[in-house]
Structure 1
Amino acid sequence: MAGTVTEPTARTVTTLADGRELIYYDRGAAVPRNAVDRRPLDPRTPASQVRFDPVTGDHVTIAAHRQARTYQPPAEECPLCPSRDGRLSEIPADDYQVAVFENRFPSLAGAPVAAEVGGGGLWTAGPGAGRCEVVCFTADHDASFADLSPERARLVLDAWTDRTAALSALPGVEQVYCFENRGAEIGVTLAHPHGQIYAFPFTTPRTARMIGQAERHRAATGRNLFDDLVAAERADGARVVLAGEHWTAFVPFAARWPYEVHLYPHRRVPDLTALDEAQRAEFPRLHLDLLRRFDRLFGGGRTPYIAAWHQAPARQRAELGLHLELFTIRRAADKLKYLAGVESGMDAFVNDVTPEDAARRLREVAR
């Protein structure tokens, strides 16, 4: 099936009252964006640290100032809705299609500095340099990503791609991570449909493990792990949920979550910026189809989920293949999958649903 034909994306950049950047994305011609942020905001002074764990080799971000961030406000006080009727929000305009702005309570912010802080030796730390952004998918507070049209979903993809390119070029940024959390069960603090983008000053632990596995596979076989994985799942078919001309979605053989789907482009690319037009055009239909299937899994309603883009780091681009991971913490209509002693303590997952049954169920709820 052909993908969605879209008009070019217009990009309008402005600043908020405290100096943070705000970008409007519109399909077609640019919409005049003259609204000014009139809120009396103080300049930001985020003070996070990135500390190194000598036992695991992981980096951990310490961001105590985020304790004061906005937490589940009523709809009439939503900071992601447009500014209307005298109520001022993070979006000065009275309407928008897609908007991206620097997070007011970022885990990471600012340019890197050369000097380390901390005790040295086993205890090393540095400033929490990097950038955190909020991506508002729609001005409609009561909608969700699954409610978007293919054209609007493509606009979000264009925004993700544009921000990946811009953030990857910042000094000190090692990896860009675009993701969406949905549902109070996941821990979402704002109900408005939105996602986030993190520009990390380090390669995240999960990505480092995947790259290590891909390098070992290359050494053993001479081939790319992700190419072999997609080819094997497509050939087997037992865990394939849906497939298009340029993308395939499947439940991984060793899925950690009860319902977990990975969406891969057939032509391997390192990140969003490397997708071609055919891949971009087909993606919205498949992604929206998956999200709507998740919502039908448990008899209707909005299933809580995390949708996470895995992209190659800035300096390790040869082996990792771009893919989207979508999973829910719900294992039944009235049960959640909690990370208890085995998962949280040992990072050793136990799944309550076989991947083959999960794939079958996701195929059954297609329309």
Structure 2
Amino acid sequence: MSLDLNNHSHRRWNPLTGEWVQVSPHRAKRPWQGQEEETPGEQKPQYDPECYLCPGNDRAGDASNPDYDSTFVFTNDFSALKPDVPSDKVNTDDLLVAKGEKGICRVICFSPRHDLTLPEMELKQIRDVVDLWTTEYKELGDRDYINYVQIFENKGEIMGCSNPHPHGQIWAQDTIPDEPAKELTQQREYYKKHGNTLLSDYLELELERDERVVVSNEHFVVVVPYWAFWPFETLLISRRPFGRFTDMTEAEKEGLADIVKQITVKFDNIFEVSFPYSAGFHPAPTDGKEHPEWHFHMHFYPPLLRSATVK
């Protein structure tokens, strides 16, 4: 009997992180008697006077928002990372180890309208968001102590999003976080061995097979990765190998806005709800080094399994 990947339990290799993923396709057929989530109400006002992200409203302390009419970015009032932290290290017997971590956290409001999400925004409005992502990546990454800039969005209450106003976050910090660090190691080793970026060769393979391609345009492709951990997990990959937001051409920025809209609309249409997810870009580190091995990409991790209420 040969291995049937559609029915037999098996492990799949994630070449981006160097880890194995357990896959048990037969378990998707089991009846569900577990917890089901309530779908949140979809009616939201265009402006909420109680929302701390809406234009003109007060935030924490004495801070208040300007009457912005496009995108808006500010340093998080409750930042997880601070720039004035000492870099001291604590080590007790190599068991109790800690180290100070400098950084900056910012919030990006995608739109002044409280009732919109990315798939509901016009393409031009999403392009404005792409431009702001690029500006923030460069401005923060140019700082001497910032070696990685994470740009991400947690969408939906079940993803822990504390405010429904359309927004994302930026964490810029001294240390390259664990997941990008794993990807750096794997991409570097692959590049040394093959002379191409790992994701260039992987994307070529996916396009040839055309089994897991979800949406695409001239500059970007979204696939369900072969090593996906979640049913609706997707990976956005640039067709041209580049590492940084600042490497994008104007046409590629337009393409990124378009592909983000395409995939988020697809998500919303699966169960006809505002689809929750955790999504984040993995650009090249901003450590002042050249990174020819790095290939620009973005991960989407939706929690839903088989309906709008099962996660």
TM-score normalised by L of structure 1: 0.67
Alpha-carbon deviations, 1:305-353, whole Å to 9, x = none? 122101111236231211121231001214444xxxxxxxxxxxxxxxx
2:273 corresponding residue in structure 1: 301
**C-alpha spacing 1:99/1:118, structure 2 compared with 1 (3 Å):** farther
Q: Write the deviation string for residues 176-218 of structure 1: whole angstroms up to 9, x where unpaired.
A: 0101111001010111110000002111111111122223323
Aligned match of 1:167 in 140, 165, 170?
140
Work out whether 1:142 is the aligned partner of 2:115. Answer: yes
Residue 112 of structure 1, CA deviation: 5.4
Aligned-partner Cα distance in 1 for 2:107–2:225: 29
Residue matched to 2:190: 217
Partner deviation per Cα, 1:251-295 (whole Å, 9 max, x = no partner): 111111110121111111111111111211222122111101100
Equivalent residue letter for 1:242? V
| In 2: Cα distance, 1:215 partner to 1:95 partner | 42
Matches of 1:95 and 1:277 in 2, distance apart? 24
Q: Partners in 2 of 1:174 and 1:123 — Cα distance?
A: 25
Match of 1:107 in 2: 80
Matched, 1:257 2:227: no
What are the superposed Cα offsets for residues 130-167 of structure 1, whole Å, 9 maximum, x if unpaired? 00000001111111111111111000000000000011
1:345-360 equivalent positions in 2, closer than 5 A: none
Distance 2:181 2:101 in 1: 19
Structure 2 gap ranges (5+): 1-46
TM-score by length of 2: 0.78
Contact 2:273 2:308 in 1 (8 A): no
Deviation of residue 88 (structure 1)? Answer: 2.7
Q: What's the counterpart of residue 331 of structure 1?
A: 305
Q: Is 2:282 the counterpart of 1:314?
A: no
- Which of 269, 280, 305 is residue 253 of structure 2 equivalent to? 280
1:113 is displaced (CA, Å) by 3.8
Q: Is the 8 A contact 2:197 2:241 kept in 1?
A: no
Q: What one-letter code is carried by the residue in structure 2 that aligns with 1:240?
A: V
The aligned residue for residue 99 of structure 2 is: 126
Distance 1:216 1:128 in 2: 27
Equivalent position of 1:246 in the other structure: 219
Q: Distance in 1 between matches of 2:166 and 2:304?
A: 19
8 Å CA contact 2:281–2:299 kept in 1: the answer is yes
Aligned partners of 1:334 and 1:243: how far apart in 2? 25
Contact 2:87 2:100 in 1 (8 A): no
The residue that corresponds to 2:21 in the other structure is none
Does 1 or 2 have the higher relative contact order (CA < 8 Å, sep 6+)?
2
SS in 1 for 2:233: strand
For structure 1, list consecutive stretches of 5 or more residues without a partner in the other structure.
1-73, 338-367
2:82–2:102 Cα contact (<8 Å) kept: yes
Cα distance between partner residues in 1 of 2:87 and 2:152: 29
Q: 1:232 to 1:80 in 2, by over 3 A?
A: same
In the aligned structure 1, how far is the partner of 2:284 from the partner of 2:256? 19
Q: Which residue of 2 aligns with 1:357?
A: none
Q: Secondary structure at the match of 2:305?
A: strand
Query: How far does residue 111 in structure 1 lie from its aligned partner after superposition?
Result: 4.0
Preserved contact between residue 109 and residue 167 of structure 2 (Cα < 8 Å): yes
Q: Is the 8 A contact 1:107 1:128 kept in 2?
A: no
Counterpart Cα distance in 2 of 1:334 and 1:107: 31
From 204, 207, 219, give the equivalent of 2:177: 204
Deviates more, 1:88-97 or 1:116-125: 116-125
Shift of 1:119: 4.6
Tell me, yes or no, if the aligned pair for 1:80 and 1:91 is still in contact at 8 Å. Answer: no
Root-mean-square deviation (CA), in Å?
Answer: 2.0
Offset of residue 114 of structure 1: 4.7
Length, aligned pairs only: 260
Q: Is the 8 A contact 1:111 1:171 kept in 2?
A: no
Give the stretch that moved more between structures: 307-316 or 323-332: 307-316
| Contact 1:180–1:308 (CA under 8 A) maintained in structure 2 | yes
Give the aligned residue type for 2:276: P
